[in-house]
Amino acid sequence: MVYKLVLIDACFDPLSYYFFLNPHSIVNKKIHGIKNLVIFATSNSSYNHRQTMKLYKANIIFTREKDHFEVVEHGYVGVENGRVVDVASSADAFDQQPEEIIDYGDRLLIPAMNDMHVHAGQYRNQGISMDMELLEWLNNYTFPEEAKFSDTRYARRMYSRFVHDLWRFGTMRTATFATTHLESTRLLMELFREAGMGAMVGKVNMDCNSIDALLESVDEAVAANEALIAEWNDPDGLVRPIITPRFIPSCSSAMLRACGEQAQKYQVPVQSHLSENLGEIALVRELEPESRFYGDAYDRYGLFGQTPTIMAHCVFSEGEELELMRRRNVMVAHCPTSNINLITGIAPIRSFLDNGIKVGLGSDISGGHDMSIMRVMVYAIQQSKLYNQKYRDKHFLSLSEAFWIATKSAGSFFGRVGSFEPGYEFDALVIDDSSLNYGNYTLTQRLERFIYVGDDRHIAVRFCRGQEIPEPRILD
Ligand code: GUN
Ligand code: FE
């Protein structure tokens, strides 16, 4: 009979590794420096796993498809190595014994939120200065604020609050713009890493049509991007760089070309703005006369789906532009609050869905004023209703569609994120809606009430990639 010795509990100092690799020598060795050594002898040829699956018990709600919710009342989510094993209505349905069952009672358990477009460098301007259209707004309010991030002490104060607010509202993955400043961008990435939250962070690249304090040369931009890629571009990393040419009017052809080349050379994703504002679109037509449409300008520089790409707004995208986005799998970051605040317009979200274009939601702080993706869902639904008033053939968004967009659809940009299907990373929120739940509501009505009238006070626990995420520090 062949016995297998399996070390199932020990501190992994070099000595215990030695024992692990050489089990036969254990009997002859003194066991120094090993705490809690437990050795299993088994004749079973299959490896005898340590029990590492946890079961989380609660009222589980998520969207596999956009048209309806999956609801398991008092169900279980099995989680192992940060990923969902399965969802079931009984603990007995799982093949393996759980290490632990964590019972959240009558609370709701839902996938965590993803913010697909936000400007960390505009955090201070959240909720102010929304009395102009895009181009004037950038020049008068936004560029001067972003210039302050040359000061890393200022960046520390603002960025720690920014990360804290994302945490507060249950946003566990973010695609964010920082500013043009390398050191501050690094700092933001460190803060995300410290928090344990997922983020694609873009050092903004721009070399024209802005204030001097924000302009950089192409060489400077390339060197800074290169540094961040060298430091952070681990494909499995929770915090990663994303190439971020601000938008066509902020970038020379040389800058756009360099960004596209770097994205492809290092296989790094891309984010930018597209077809947001009529004045902006007219300017792009002037700046890029050879391009047939705005998205074509990005495409010519390798910035339109050659690597995974997010384009924010797309309020005026139609026809060929939409078709190219579908073909290239470009994700729209739909930003309904910003689209109203900057007097932009209502994006045709139903057309995005009908055309098979990927969509996520963005708070777009500080064009947008609300960091809660739950609230952004509500604005997205309300605006689609206004759109439906005008164009009767475009049906408004349902709650499950908005939820799916914010969770599973958006989450696809980060891998298998945003659902509780087997293999998905366990990014989740435990919702304690007891103060809202006094009227004999169904579980989906309870979720709807949390989304419409709840807030961060109802989020009891947050998980990212299977880890419970404690409150991040606010720094001064
Ligand atoms: N287009 C270029 N820069 C920006 C920005 O900071 N916010 C928004 N909403 N649109 C932009
Ligand atoms: Fe934006």
Task: Tell me the pLDDT band of 25, cut-offs 50, 70 and 90.
Answer: very low
Instruction: Report pLDDT for 51.
Output: 78
Decide whether any atom of ligand 1 lies within 6 Å of the 332 Cβ.
no
Phi then psi dihedrals of residue 232, to 5 deg: -125, -5
List, for residues 415-434, the tens digit of each pLDDT value. 999 999 999 999 999 999 99
How far is the C-alpha of 299 from the C-alpha of 319, rounded, in Å? Answer: 15
pLDDT of residue 393 exceeding 90, the answer is no
List, for residues 63-90, the tens digit of each pLDDT value. 999 999 999 999 999 999 999 999 999 9
Q: What is the mean pLDDT of residues 153-165?
A: 98
Decide whether any atom of ligand 1 lies within 6 Å of the 338 Cβ.
yes
**Sequence spans of domains, the chain:** 2-42, 54-110+424-446, 113-414
Ligand positioned closest to the Cα atom of 279: 1
pLDDT of residue 451 exceeding 80, the answer is yes
Phi then psi dihedrals of residue 107, to 5 deg: -75, 165
How far is the C-alpha of 338 from the C-alpha of 138, rounded, in Å? Answer: 13
List, for residues 258-289, the tens digit of each pLDDT value. 999 999 999 999 999 999 999 999 999 999 99
The structure tokens listed for 245 are 């040419």
By alpha-carbon position, which residue is closest to atom 11 of ligand 1?
273
How far is the C-alpha of 80 from the C-alpha of 336, rounded, in Å? Answer: 36
pLDDT of residue 220 exceeding 60, the answer is yes
Residues linked to residue 425 through DSSP beta bridges, in sequence order: 83, 417
Q: What is the mean pLDDT of residues 34-41?
A: 37
**Pairing between strand 239-241 and 198-202?**
parallel
Instruction: Report pLDDT for 350.
Output: 94
Q: Taking the CA of residue 155 as centre, how many other CA atoms within 13 Å lie in the half-sphere pointing to its CB?
A: 23
Question: Which atom of ligand 1 is the closest one to the Cα of 250?
Answer: 2
User: Cis omega (within 30 of 0) on the bond before 90?
Assistant: no
Instruction: Report pLDDT for 65.
Output: 98
Task: Tell me the pLDDT band of 230, cut-offs 50, 70 and 90.
Answer: very high
pLDDT of residue 36 exceeding 80, the answer is no
Instruction: Report pLDDT for 50.
Output: 62
List, for residues 305-359, the tens digit of each pLDDT value. 999 999 999 999 999 999 999 999 999 999 999 999 999 999 999 999 999 999 9
Instruction: Report pLDDT for 100.
Output: 97
Pick the CATH number of 113-414 from 3.20.20.140, 1.10.10.10, 3.40.50.300, 3.30.300.10: 3.20.20.140
Contact 413, 308 (CB under 8 A): yes
How far is the C-alpha of 17 from the C-alpha of 32, rounded, in Å? Answer: 12
Q: What is the mean pLDDT of residues 149-164?
A: 98
Decide whether any atom of ligand 1 lies within 6 Å of the 54 Cβ.
no
**Pairing between strand 359-361 and 70-80?**
unpaired
Question: Which atom of ligand 1 is the closest one to the Cα of 364?
Answer: 9
The predicted model scores a pTM of: 0.90
pLDDT of residue 4 exceeding 80, the answer is no
Overall CATH class of domain 54-110+424-446: mainly beta
Phi then psi dihedrals of residue 4, to 5 deg: -110, 130
List, for residues 115-142, the tens digit of each pLDDT value. 999 999 999 999 999 999 999 999 999 9
Q: Contacts for 397-402 with beta carbons within 8 Å, 24 or more apart?
A: 397/349, 397/350, 398/67, 399/444, 399/447, 399/448, 399/451, 400/63, 400/66, 400/67, 400/68, 400/69, 401/66, 401/67, 401/353, 402/361, 402/377, 402/378
**Contacts of residue 41, Cβ cutoff 8 Å, sequence gap at least 6:** 3, 4, 5
Percent of the chain residues past pLDDT 70, beyond the cut = 89
Domains 54-110+424-446 and 113-414 share a fold: no
Q: What is the mean pLDDT of residues 191-214?
A: 98
pLDDT of residue 297 exceeding 70, the answer is yes
Ligand positioned closest to the Cα atom of 339: 1
pLDDT of residue 109 exceeding 60, the answer is yes
Task: Tell me the pLDDT band of 390, cut-offs 50, 70 and 90.
Answer: confident
Question: Which atom of ligand 1 is the closest one to the Cα of 342?
Answer: 9
What is the identity of the amino acid at 284? V
Write the CA distances from 440 to 57, 337, 444, 449, 459, integer angstroms.
Answer: 21, 32, 12, 12, 21
Cα angle for residues 104, 106, 112 (degrees, 5° grid): 60
Crossing angle for the helix pair 443-453 and 373-390, to the nearest 10 degrees: 90
Q: 30-44, 292-306, 353-367, 435-449: which has the minimum mean pLDDT?
A: 30-44
Distance from Cα 348 to the centre of ligand 2, integer Å: 18
What is the identity of the amino acid at 172? M
Task: Tell me the pLDDT band of 448, cut-offs 50, 70 and 90.
Answer: very high
How far is the C-alpha of 195 from the C-alpha of 366, rounded, in Å? Answer: 22
Task: Tell me the pLDDT band of 391, cut-offs 50, 70 and 90.
Answer: confident
pLDDT of residue 10 exceeding 60, the answer is no
Decide whether any atom of ligand 1 lies within 6 Å of the 247 Cβ.
yes
Decide whether any atom of ligand 1 lies within 6 Å of the 367 Cβ.
yes
Distance from Cα 367 to the centre of ligand 1, integer Å: 7
Contact 307, 269 (CB under 8 A): yes
pLDDT of residue 438 exceeding 50, the answer is yes
Cβ < 5 A residues, ion ligand 2: 312, 364
Nearest to 327 by CA among 299, 349, 362: 299
Distance from Cα 371 to the centre of ligand 1, integer Å: 16
End-to-end CA distance of the chain: 64
Task: Tell me the pLDDT band of 389, cut-offs 50, 70 and 90.
Answer: confident
pLDDT of residue 48 exceeding 80, the answer is no
The pick from 137, 276, 294 for probing ligand 1's pocket by mutation, whose C-beta has the most ligand atoms within 8 angstroms, reads 276
pLDDT of residue 402 exceeding 60, the answer is yes
Instruction: Report pLDDT for 43.
Output: 33
Distance from Cα 379 to the centre of ligand 1, integer Å: 19
What is the identity of the amino acid at 126? Q
Ligand positioned closest to the Cα atom of 134: 1
Question: Which atom of ligand 1 is the closest one to the Cα of 122?
Answer: 6
